[in-house]
Amino acid sequence: MFEFFYFAFTLHGNSRKTIKKMLYNSDQIAAFHEQTFAHLIVEEKDHLLTITLNRPEKKNAMNPVLFRELAYTLLYAEHNHEVWAVVIAANGDVFCAGADLKAFAGQSDVTTSTIPVPHGEIILGDSFNRLHKPCIAKVHAPVYAGGFLIICGCTHVVAASEATFSLPEVKRGLFPFQVMQSMLQIMPPRMVLDFCIRAKTINATEAEKIGLVSKVVTKENLDAEVTALVDEIFQYSPSAIKLGLEAFDNLKNVAPGEAHTYLKQMLSLAVQTEDAAEGIAAFTEKRKPVWKGK
């Protein structure tokens, strides 16, 4: 029985070492649709996995159970070739209030969740980095603190004009350490530091200007805009996009002098996929391709 692993790559000279960080094995992932979720609503339909944060009474603050459910679901999406994209939404008047500090301080949570305990520590930023599928955050309301781990981990963020974005940690004697790392992937360092140090709150239009948000729409048009984006993404090869996002993730750990060698290897993998064969055939035959995601 082979296991599902998270992979981190390090290059030493001409040799590559693979560090394996196992969270769940294949049997646990295969039982995905048998699980009971306490704080998520999960729907899989027509190659789209929709994850809805569903802890509105706590402003969708992430306690250990929600962390575990989210990491488990992202890993399922990564390893299921029938899932081509992920949408993350939320119920309630706050998209996500960040970490539930009371829960992490030891306050118990009576829960119906059956998600297995992982075989290792969950680092949510890494879980998003290693989801090599398009991931769209549908943000209808304010995002606070650790909620940035979700929006910064997505490939696209579509936000309602009413949404706001805030990092209040320093007001509590804390600092947004992991959020800072996620933000550095999409924003200039000084801008990130200013955001963290000054506990800034910005609106959706400002968030779009600095790259935190991909597009701002009215709340009434939010669903239609996300649906249109998913439809557009599904016109293109799922396997090509997956390999591209995998390469984007791994490039952080590839020495600059070896980057093109690594990317040539990834191109060789892409050429061998069923989607590549279909794409070339469709181009030759002047028809739309029928993707398999393989």
Q: Does domain 238-285 have CATH number 1.10.357?
A: no
Domain boundaries, the chain: 3-233, 238-285
The set of residues, in sequence order, having a beta carbon less than 8 Å from that of 208 and lying 6+ positions away, is 159, 214, 215, 216
Gap between the Cα atoms of 47 and 277, Å rounded: 20
Q: If you average pLDDT over residues 90-106, what whole number do you get?
A: 87
For 152-180, what is the mean pLDDT? 96
Where does the pLDDT of residue 108 fall: very low under 50, low under 70, confident under 90, or very high at 90 and above? Answer: low
Per residue in 232-243, pLDDT (tens digit) is 999 999 999 999
SS3 readout for 182-228: HHHCCCCHHHHHHHHHCCCEEEHHHHHHCCCCCEEECHHHHHHHHHH
- Output the pTM of the full model: 0.89
Superfamily holding 3-233: 2-enoyl-CoA Hydratase; Chain A, domain 1 (3.90.226.10)
Q: Which amino acid is at 117?
A: V
Q: Give yes or no for residue 94 having a pLDDT over 50.
A: yes
Mean pLDDT of 134-145: 98
What's the pLDDT tens digit per position in 4-29? 333 333 333 333 333 346 788 888 99
Task: Give the model's pLDDT for residue 256.
Answer: 85
